[in-house]
Amino acid sequence: MNIYITGMGCISALGNDINQTLYHLQNEKSGLTYMDFVETEFKQKFVAGEIKMSNQDLANRFGISDKIPTRTSLLGLWAAQDAVAQSGIEIVDKTYKTGFISASTVGGMVNTERHFDKYLKGIDYEDFVSSNDMGDSTEFIANSLKIKRFVTTINTACASSLNAIILGTRMIKQGILDRVIVGGSDALCKFTINGFNALMLLDTEACLPFDARRKGINLGEGAAYLVLESEKAIKDKSKILAKISGYGSSNDAFHQTASSPNGYGLQLAMKAALTTASLSTTDINYLNAHGTATPNNDLTEGWAIKETFTEGISFSSTKSFTGHTLAASGSIEAVFSILSINNNFMPANLGFNQAIEEHGLIPISTTQQGVSLKHIMSNSAGMGGSCSSIIFSKS
């Protein structure tokens, strides 16, 4: 059974909609800057992929002026509404079973940290507790879209939203749902900035994925959602953007934060994706790598790519445009992959200059325009060993 993408929405440091995102990707315009809106002592120290809107700016789109939801919720609703609008589906149409699967790692922490001092003093208890649940943003978005049949939240670290897409695909294949909105949302907050700083994984300048000089990640924020539909649920085939032809998930069970030295988990995920798609490595035209720009990931993922694609593969990391958007990265990069298929280009790996000595892989350093792309693979990997790969194909 083929599973089709009929709508997508995206908001990130690259832009507030699909058109802005496409323009900046094709023209090598990075969204990385110093932070303006996160109240942290590191505001002018670390470069990040920040969306240049306040919470009130985001809320204004939905006419919300009182009891503003979390930033995670607002970003997620922004992207999810755009995806539904592009697909043209009617949620209230009970002919088809509709679900919503959303991913996050930050969740309600963006509110928790603002209310924590008040909470310790015994005030503002309700607001502190109600927004802290990881599923808070999921419930808010689902209720706003009026989806009730199936709603769930996924947190598998930085592989979360890619796993949301995979779960949605499987549920349609198994006949549990006919269509499902899948993706993820994460917002910048002090908790993650301080946490990654404590791990010494942040770069003070624009990150350098797969470069020998890489120092660490730039954190980012954003949201992206796809509308997945079975063939029988699609009313207008002209809406089809691409299809999901293969997917795979694994866990290398090596370390709480580091991946195994040879990237074994990603090797398993990529090979599983190829198997479910009935494709060989030579069928894949481009790989959107996880590429966090950390010493560990780019070394180990590089080995995984080299071991899997023994004949070589064109690849790049688009985190050099958006920063690492954590749980939202898989769905944001899914949008990038589909844009690449439909607009015949491969995005650049910005900042690359010098290959990593151990494996010597060289990513795409400038945008490749006018290329014919039929199958694109996208990787995501998260702390705790979660590794996932997916293949998008021209419909």
**Active site amino acids:** 158, 290, 324
Burial of 320 (0-12, 13-18, 19+ CB in 10 A): buried
Question: In 3-state terms, what secondary structure has residue 68?
Answer: coil
Overall residue count recorded for the chain in this entry: 395
Q: Are strands 368-369 and 345-346 parallel, antiparallel or unpaired?
A: antiparallel
Calpha distance 200→207 (Å, rounded): 14
Give phi and psi for 179, each to the nearest 5. -155, 155
| Sequence-distant (≥ 6) Cβ neighbours of residue 150 within 8 angstroms | 97, 98, 99, 100, 101, 171, 176, 177, 180
Token pair recorded at residue 292: 């966090």
88-99: b or e for each residue (b if 16 or more CB lie within 10 Å)? ebebeeeebbbb
| Sequence-distant (≥ 6) Cβ neighbours of residue 168 within 8 angstroms | 99, 101, 177, 180, 181, 182, 228
Question: In 3-state terms, what secondary structure has residue 148?
Answer: coil
Calpha distance 393→395 (Å, rounded): 6
Token pair recorded at residue 2: 């083929």
